[in-house]
Structure 1
Amino acid sequence: MVEDYLVASDYVLIGIYFVLVLAVGLWSTFRPNRNSAAGYFLAGKDMHWIPVGASIFASNVGAPMFIGLAGTAAASGFAVAIYEWHSIYLLIALGWVFVPVYVASGAFTMPEYLKKRFGGKRLRIYLSSLALVLYVLTKISSEIYSGAIFMRQLLGWNLYLCVVTILAVTAFYTIAGGLAAVIYTDTLQTVILLFGAFILTVMSFIEVGGWEQMMRKYSMAAANYTLANPENYSCGLPRSDFNHIWRDAETGDIPWPGAAIGLTTLGLWVWCTDQIMVQTCLSAKDMSHAIVVSLLPNSKTIEIA
């Protein structure tokens, strides 16, 4: 277990991290315009593009990326980069095409926008219910579970204790400070994520021997139980097209037609109509800041390395 290698200073750093997150969240609760609806749900609509862009970055880069996407890349190869490539163009579409429409409508949320656009209540209730179910099943659960796994490996805590700790800390500053608390804590998380990812990348390449050695070793990589069963050896080796992003339409695990058409349709919902993206962009102080916001998170593609 990792905790066997931790020393007192490591626990102090982890404690400082949680204290900083809570301190930033509490500090944001003292914003003067927090008591209004726009102040609570849209952070007063006076946020600079840097914290807004950092919040979008942190909302998409976290435990699911470092654990889930990295694990998928280890099993499949470079093709998983296509998921992030979509964000480059769709985030630009969010800032230049979608956000002006949302701002003009005066809506705070996507269900509210649908009501303003089409009228009635059924569509608003339907989207609210659907979004709630999808967030729990596809986002919140994976975020909490991935973070809990990391904490358990790092600290040796019980998995349920890790889950409760994550929920308690996050719920505390989110409920108290509203969107502003989320944006400011995400900005802190972005700095930590970028710093940690850079160190992790450098240490990983040093450990494996550089890019060429990584490519050579990966092509022959297999789990120990696979190596112990020569009859099934070929089934456990990496794919022959692991170094290709655009893969065969029939034999590829992420075929290029699906990557170009299917994932673009899915990405349009994720990047341009998802409540997290929309509400965060709407907190920008003006349209110029909202447009610049759509460019900043595109740097998240560097994480694929």
Structure 2
Amino acid sequence: MNSLVFTIISCLFFMGLIAVYSYIKTKNQVNSSDGYFLAGRGLTGGFIAGSLLLTNLSAEQLIGLNGQAYSANMSNMAWEVTAGFSVIILALVLLPRYLGGAFSTLPGFLSSRFDDGVRRYVVVLFMLGYGLVTIPSVLYSGAIAVLQLFDLPGLMGISIDQAVWIMVWMIGLIGAAYAIFGGLKAVAISDTLNGIGLLLIGLTVPVIGLISLGSGNFLDGIYTITTTNPEKLNAVGSRDDAIPFGTIFTGMIFMNLFYWGTNQYVIQRTLGAKSLAEGQKGALLTGFYKLLVPLLMMIPGVIAFHLYGGELDPIDLAYPTIVANLLPGFLSGFFLAMLLGAVFSSFNSLLNSASTMFAYDIYKAGINPQATDTQMIRVSKWFGTILALMSFFVAPMLMNAPDGLWNIIREFTGFFNIPIITIVLVGIFTKRVPAVGAKIVIIFHVISYYFLIWGLPTFFGVEIPISFVHISAVLFVIETGIMLTAGRIRPLEKEHHFYANAKVDMTPWKYSLPVTVILFSLIILAYLVFSPIGAAYAGGVVSGWFFPAVGALLLLTAVFYVKALQSWRDKYEHFVHTTHEEAVQRTLERERDENLG
């Protein structure tokens, strides 16, 4: 009991420090709509990256990915490591468009390209996904993680169901306070501080685990996991693995691009950047952070397999067991604070983004076009409060999910990720595709996705014999074809052009392309390390091909880095500058015509 009291007190101490600092930094800065929803468009690259990282990392990943590594191998790291490709596209392609138009929400961006009907369709998709699945799942996974790690039902003498309800409400109320009363800046600051702590404690766990595995010697621990059952370190998934390697080049590209490039609760941090350069820094830095995720969220699962064998049931006990058995007691409060911080981050980010979309895309766009900043902030707070309370009641019901939390999130996200990324990409790279094409795609996707995943097996006993990731790729191709066909049959009378309304400096970061080359190279290196020629080599620590492959990669990286520094950088900066200036000129001409008219 004394250890529990110490854990709770130290946890509250660390959480209190973060809360006080966040309050001081945001005091009197959330009185305008930009200040509340977009942090006054003043976020720097470090805060953007820290907030993006912690928004993405959650207890469900911490527990779930380690469980997957414990039971199978490292193939699920594809979701994390290849996110670097998506943040590169966000930084170099999408962000100049978003910031150039000073958009506050993704539906607002789509409204400018298509019409308000598309905006409403997309808002409905987001709200249903956030309200019924994503927000409740974050609360539920956080509650389960705390219960597994600290056995609160046993310590408090209550049932698991009662403990889940208590933890959901506790986590939800604290997280909602950040999002509803502090706005995006409070969320971003607390995310960054929690992110630093999570990285520190997250890296501590595998280090302690390897020392224990090596009987006190860290290097012996590394030798053990690379020579005994080395197949556990293989990230190149086979057809029988949950994530076959081929899926990286099909549906995963678009699913990750949706998440990092168009998902409101992720991109809202970059929309609050103080400049294009800072937004690009934050996005690209996030890609480097994601390369650490296998060390934080999968290697402990492999260590657990070596320490405890393959008998842990359920597999999600792998990470809690390591933490409970190996983490020093004096770090327990700090660990709990960082774990809760990760849960708070995902929850309050979702809540803040849902409130932002309601204020801009429903209230101001359709109910009160003349709404003042004060009215929008007040309405968003009321909506956030109602949505939070709803999620408190929905979250505990996920205990009854027949196929587990991981599958629910994965399957239900499929209802809106592919149609949204399809609409965004086609909207950016074409000029005559009409709004009706986007609306058809949304309706088609919801119906076809339901039948492919649930309808055919339920009503006809037909199972689709390929990964759901490949199914997503097929739907992306079909839906792109639908939109292009709509553009051929009913093209817009006039070509669509984007208009500039930038509120920040649009000069790109001068090192964006050189840093992109390094990030791309490190993604490939991660797969070389966790492959049959690297740490998963069955004949020793690594194969004879490993170092030549790494050497060739370093040589190519050096060549492309110099090329990016000497010529590609200038061409990219010229392209961004020219594109933006053309948009500015079109905007001035439109305003002049409106004044004359």
Distance 1:56 1:73 in 2: 24
- Give the match for residue 324 of structure 2: none
1:108 aligns with 2:113: no
1:272 aligns with 2:261: yes
* RMSD across aligned positions (CA): 2.1
1:151 aligns with 2:146: yes
1:22 aligns with 2:12: no
Please tell me whether the aligned partners of residues 28 and 177 of structure 1 are also in contact (alpha carbons under 8 angstroms). Answer: no
Distance 2:250 2:18 in 1: 39
**Which residue type is aligned with residue 96 of structure 1?**
L
Secondary structure at the aligned position of 1:294 is classed as helix
How many Å apart are 1:137 and its aligned residue?
4.7
Distance 1:5 1:147 in 2: 24
**Which residue type is aligned with residue 140 of structure 1?**
I
Task: Classify 1:244/1:7 alpha carbon distance in 2 versus 1 (closer, same or farther; 3 Å).
Answer: closer
**Which residue type is aligned with residue 201 of structure 2?**
G
Task: Classify 1:286/1:203 alpha carbon distance in 2 versus 1 (closer, same or farther; 3 Å).
Answer: same
Higher-Rg structure is 2
Task: Classify 1:151/1:20 alpha carbon distance in 2 versus 1 (closer, same or farther; 3 Å).
Answer: farther
**Which residue type is aligned with residue 149 of structure 1?**
I
Secondary structure at the aligned position of 2:168 is classed as helix
What pairs up with 1:283-302 in 2 under 5 angstroms? Answer: 283-298=272-287, 299-302=289-292
How many Å apart are 1:19 and its aligned residue?
1.8
Equivalent of residue 213 in structure 1, options 216, 224, 248: 224
What pairs up with 1:243-262 in 2 under 5 angstroms? Answer: 243-248=233-238, 250-262=239-251
Distance 1:205 1:137 in 2: 40
How many Å apart are 1:62 and its aligned residue?
2.7
- Give the match for residue 304 of structure 1: 294
How many Å apart are 1:58 and its aligned residue?
0.7
How many Å apart are 1:56 and its aligned residue?
0.3
Task: Classify 1:135/1:117 alpha carbon distance in 2 versus 1 (closer, same or farther; 3 Å).
Answer: same
Distance 2:174 2:23 in 1: 11
Secondary structure at the aligned position of 2:292 is classed as helix
- Give the match for residue 11 of structure 1: 8
How many Å apart are 1:10 and its aligned residue?
2.2
**Which residue type is aligned with residue 181 of structure 1?**
A
Distance 1:212 1:141 in 2: 41
- After superposition, give the CA deviation of every residue in 1:277-304 in whole Å (9 maximum; x if it has no partner): 2110011100110111112112222120
How many Å apart are 1:242 and its aligned residue?
4.1
| Percent of aligned pairs with the same amino acid | 27
**Which residue type is aligned with residue 45 of structure 1?**
R
Distance 2:12 2:98 in 1: 40
Distance 2:139 2:2 in 1: 24
1:263 aligns with 2:259: no
Distance 1:90 1:126 in 2: 24
How many Å apart are 1:136 and its aligned residue?
3.7
Equivalent of residue 199 in structure 1, options 190, 201, 204: 204
Distance 1:134 1:63 in 2: 19
Secondary structure at the aligned position of 1:103 is classed as helix
Distance 1:151 1:256 in 2: 33
Moved more, 127-136 or 20-29: 20-29
Give the number of equivalent residue pairs: 278
Distance 2:4 2:168 in 1: 23
- After superposition, give the CA deviation of every residue in 1:44-103 in whole Å (9 maximum; x if it has no partner): 001111111100011112312211222122222111111112211211111111011011
Task: Classify 1:5/1:268 alpha carbon distance in 2 versus 1 (closer, same or farther; 3 Å).
Answer: farther
1:49 aligns with 2:39: no
Please tell me whether the aligned partners of residues 29 and 176 of structure 1 are also in contact (alpha carbons under 8 angstroms). Answer: no
1:84 aligns with 2:80: yes
- Give the match for residue 166 of structure 1: 171
Please tell me whether the aligned partners of residues 26 and 173 of structure 1 are also in contact (alpha carbons under 8 angstroms). Answer: no
Distance 1:303 1:207 in 2: 21
Q: Which protein has greater RCO, CA pairs closer than 8 Å, 6+ apart?
A: 1
Distance 2:144 2:229 in 1: 25
**Which residue type is aligned with residue 23 of structure 2?**
L
Secondary structure at the aligned position of 1:35 is classed as coil
- Give the match for residue 230 of structure 1: none
Distance 2:223 2:134 in 1: 35
**Which residue type is aligned with residue 53 of structure 1?**
A
Distance 2:227 2:8 in 1: 37
Moved more, 61-70 or 109-118: 61-70
Distance 2:235 2:213 in 1: 22
User: Normalising by the residue count of structure 2, what TM-score does the alignment of the two structures yield?
Assistant: 0.44
Could you tell me which runs of 5 or more consecutive residues in structure 1 were left unpaired when the two chains were aligned: 220-240
**Which residue type is aligned with residue 279 of structure 2?**
A
**Which residue type is aligned with residue 249 of structure 2?**
A
How many Å apart are 1:25 and its aligned residue?
4.1
- Give the match for residue 127 of structure 2: 132
Please tell me whether the aligned partners of residues 100 and 287 of structure 1 are also in contact (alpha carbons under 8 angstroms). Answer: yes
Please tell me whether the aligned partners of residues 103 and 271 of structure 2 are also in contact (alpha carbons under 8 angstroms). Answer: no
Task: Classify 1:201/1:243 alpha carbon distance in 2 versus 1 (closer, same or farther; 3 Å).
Answer: closer
How many Å apart are 1:142 and its aligned residue?
2.7
**Which residue type is aligned with residue 76 of structure 2?**
V
